[in-house]
Structures are given as structure tokens and as C-alpha cells.
Amino acid sequence: MPGSVVCVRRSLGWSAAFAVAFLVLYALAVLTPWGRMVDGHSLGQPYAAARSFSVLRWACPAAAGAAAAISVVVALVRKRWADTLMCLLAAGAVILASGWLRDDVLARLSSAVAHGANSYPSRHVVITCAIALIVLRLWPWAKGRRVVDALAIAAVVIDAVASVATYSHRASDTIGAVLLVGVLAPVYARGRFPGLRDAVLRRPPTLVVAAAVWLCALAVAALADGVVATTGYLVLIALGTGALTLALGRAVSTRRAA
């Protein structure tokens, strides 16, 4: 019983932290003039590769979906009924919630809407990330697991960059998408959640360096122009979505969830 209480507290704390981060990012990037300026400039970065990224934007969720289908089939064959059901429920719920939040709740100010639509969070990135977590939770084979982890993270990062490059979303939309998926991460893990140290703080120096690099990228994106600003936005998006997806993968993985 004490262990169950600890897991519940961890799960609720994790979901609350990600929900707060999701709303804080929305407030900063959408509701403040400075945030709207910086976020708006991310549209189309890197514009020179938009045509290539338009293909990748659809290839990433498709590849993740194929891997998830394999994972689900094998999990069902191995009678992992509860794990499979909770993964599918979590992914379906967060995908549905993303559309509702984007279209009906978290509207942008009319003066801040570019290209005719609200876009926080990116439903496309939510779909890719939510499906990737199914793979990370259910993937049945230990051999090559690190490769699978890396490919899942890469799919989310590439989809996020592609969404910005093709003028579909701003930088905050992509990072907010991963934060939203994080709210339901405990559902994937059926509440058997690791401590903060195991999920996020396994290497504190690395975390500090990553945070410092992310803040520097934000400053460069906000203050620079041209290629330098583009580089800043790419690091901002890739590091933000990649690090968050890595943390989610660790949190839901059957190897670490306890």
C-alpha cells in the first residue's frame, strides 16, 4: 500500500508539473508581446528546406504508427492486455484533447494569428509523440532498444522542425505539444512511475548544460538575424522537444517504471 501511494503521488506530481509548464509556455509565447514576436519569427525556420520537410512531416507519424502497430500486436500476443489498453487510451485521449485545446480553448489573439489559424499546441507533433510513447512502452525486444529509443526521439524532433519549416506551427506549438503528452505519461505507465531522479535527473550536469544551451538558443533566436537566428531556432526546437521526449521515454519505459 505505501508503494502504491508513492506511485500515485509521483504520477499526480508529474502530470501537474507538465500541465503547469504547458500553460506557462502558452502564456509566455501567446499572451505576451515579446513572446509573440519571438515565436512568430520562428515560422518558416529553416525556410530553405521547407519542401523536404513537408514530406518528413507526414513520414514521421507514419513510421511511428507502423512501429506502434508492431508493438501492439506483439504485446497482445504476449497477453499484455492492461499495458496495451492504457497506452491506446492515453494516446487517444491526448490526441483528442490537443485538437479541442487548440481550436476551442487556447485561442490566439486575433492580431497574433498568422496564416489564418490558431496553432497551440501542434496536433501533428502530439500525434507523433503520443504514438512514439506507445512504442517506447510496449517495444518487446531488448536487443536494439537504444536504437528504437533514438529513432522515436528523432521522429518527434524531425516532425517538430518540419512543422515549423513548413509554416504550419511556431516553435512554442511544438514544445507545448510534447508537454501536453507528458501530462498523460503516467497513464501509459499505469501509474508505476519512477522517481524524478530516474526520469529526469540521472545526470544533473548534463541537465544543467542542456538547460544552458536551450536558454542561449532562445537568446540567439530572439536577438539575431538570418542564419544565426535560424540556427538558434533549430537548437531551441530540437533540444526542447528531444529532451522532453527522452524524459517521457524514460518515465514510461517498462525497464524503468516501478
- pLDDT band of residue 245 (cuts 50, 70, 90) is very high
Q: Mind listing the pLDDT tens digit for each residue in 25-57?
A: 999 998 898 988 899 889 888 776 767 788 889
User: In this predicted structure, which of 113-117, 146-150, 183-187, 204-208 has the lowest mean pLDDT?
Assistant: 113-117
Q: Is residue 9 part of a domain?
A: yes
Residues 214-242 have a mean pLDDT of 92
More confident residue, 117 or 206: 206
Burial of 15 (0-12, 13-18, 19+ CB in 10 A): middle
What pLDDT, on the 0 to 100 scale, is given for residue 208? 83
- Does residue 191 belong to any structural domain of this protein? yes
The predicted-structure confidence for 155-178, as pLDDT tens digits, reads as follows 999 999 999 998 889 999 999 999
Whether the model clears a pTM of 0.85, i.e. scores above it, the answer is yes
Residue 113: per-residue pLDDT = 46
For 101-115, write each residue's pLDDT tens digit. Answer: 998 888 765 444 444
Q: What are 216's three cell numbers?
A: 542561449
How many structural domains comprise the chain?
A: 1
Distance CA 168, CA 170 (A): 7
**What span, in angstroms and rounded, lies between the C-alpha atoms of 113 and 93?**
26
Judge whether residue 197 has pLDDT over 90: no
Contacts of 17 by beta carbon, 8 Å cutoff, 6+ apart: none
Is 102 a domain residue?
yes
Counting every residue, how long is the chain? Answer: 258
- Residue 212 is predicted with a pLDDT of 93
- In this prediction, residue 115 carries a pLDDT of 46
- 10 assigned to some structural domain: yes
Q: Is residue 138 part of a domain?
A: yes
pLDDT top residue among 52 and 210: 210
Residue-level pLDDT at 202: 61
Q: Would residue 144 count as lying in a domain?
A: yes
Work out the mean pLDDT of the chain and round it to a whole number.
87
Are residues 140 and 86 in contact, defined by beta-carbon separation less than 8 angstroms? Answer: no
Percent of the chain at pLDDT above 70? 86
Instruction: Give the pLDDT score at 200.
Output: 60
Structural domain includes residue 232: yes
257 in a structural domain: no
Tens digits of residue pLDDT in 130-156 = 999 999 999 988 888 899 999 999 999
Query: For residue 171, what are the domain limits?
Result: 2-252
Q: What is the pLDDT of residue 118?
A: 66
How does residue 253 score in pLDDT terms, banded at 50, 70 and 90?
confident
